[in-house]
Homo-oligomer: A and B are copies of this chain.
Amino acid sequence: MNIDIFGYFAAILTTAAFLPQLVKILKTKKADDVSLTTLIMFIVGVLSWIIYGYKISSTPVLTANLITLILNLLILISKIYFKTT
């Protein structure tokens, strides 16, 4: 069995995983329990992955992290927009 399959499967899951969180916030119009610090640290980390992926010319690292970045930026914006506390 090709080992890369685990890598692709892992990349797809840890990227797509943020979609249900975004949908949940948009549906419930609430995100108070989602940590702002976690979102900011994660976004800065993903930005670093993008720089790293670009520098080492890794399309998978670049692509997966660009999608993760967009989803997490949308989660951050939704959280701020629906802020109640």
Contact = CB atoms under 8 A, between A and B. Distances in A.
Interface of A: 3, 6-7, 9-21, 23-25, 28, 30-35, 37-39, 41-42, 44-46, 48-49, 51-52, 55-56
B17 A55 contact: no
A31 to B, nearest CB: 5
Please report whether the interface of chain A is mostly helix, strand, loop or mixed according to DSSP. Answer: helix
26 contacts: A3-B52, A3-B55, A7-B52, A10-B45, A10-B46, A10-B48, A10-B51, A11-B45, A13-B41, A13-B45, A13-B48, A14-B46, A15-B45, A17-B41, A17-B42, A19-B38, A20-B37, A20-B38, A20-B41, A21-B35, A24-B33, A24-B37, A24-B38, A28-B33, A33-B34, A34-B34
